[in-house]
Amino acid sequence: MHNQITTVTLFESKGVRNQFWAFSQVPLALFRLKDVPGLQFYKSMGSGGGKGFDFTPSFSTYCWLLVWENEDYANRFFNSNAYFLRYHTKAVGVKTLYLENVEAHGLWSGVKPFEKSADFKTDSKVVVLTRARIKTFKLIHFWTKVGRTAKELYKFAELEFAIGVGELPFIQQATLSIWKNPQAMKEYAYKDETHKNVIKLTRKHKWYSEELFARFVLKQAIVQKGLG
């Protein structure tokens, strides 16, 4: 049985020339990825500065989120696709997460990209993706009220990694976080007061024109040194 697989690739670049090239690929990647075999959904994104959640963008970290018909297509792409291999030469580090979806709610660009392909086990590492498009006329209100609350994630010892990424700064925002196990993720989601307050404010002020929430099992993480 061939289940859908999602990959998240983070590229780290150094040097003005390589960083400018990587920055230019945020929109250009969408054209280069359009006809890749087995690719069902794809997003090319930048990230926030600092630990990934600053208002100012990071010019060193970029992200691809790719949804594949099955893992064979993903492996073939990462082993032989000329565009990905060229990106590899421009980066100092490339990290790819293979994810199996457990649940997803909402839309991204008008579609439901993720199909259920796994269930949590007690020792599963959990990846959480939240994504929203903020209504333009509510941008100032949103950032004034919510600001940098995503940084509160880092007070949880069970959090292994987190980053803020997006297609458009300030408007289209996504948060990706990795948790040691499902229980740790639930502790944050259901008991953290800051997180619960943001959900309450979101429902009250209706900031988003589109939103999505998804949870995945982390199947594997591949870390490679780049050539840049």
Q: What is the pLDDT along the chain (228 residues), one digit of tens a residue?
A: 479 999 999 999 999 999 999 999 999 999 999 999 999 999 999 998 765 556 677 889 999 999 999 999 999 999 999 999 999 999 999 999 999 999 999 999 999 999 999 999 999 999 999 998 888 888 777 777 665 555 667 777 888 998 889 888 666 788 899 999 999 998 887 777 777 777 787 888 888 889 999 999 999 999 999 888
For residues 179 and 160, the answer to whether their CB atoms sit within 8 Å is: yes
**156-180 as b/e, with b when 16 or more CB fall inside 10 Å?**
beebbbbbbbbbeeeebbbbbbbbb
Decide: helix, strand or coil at residue 18: helix
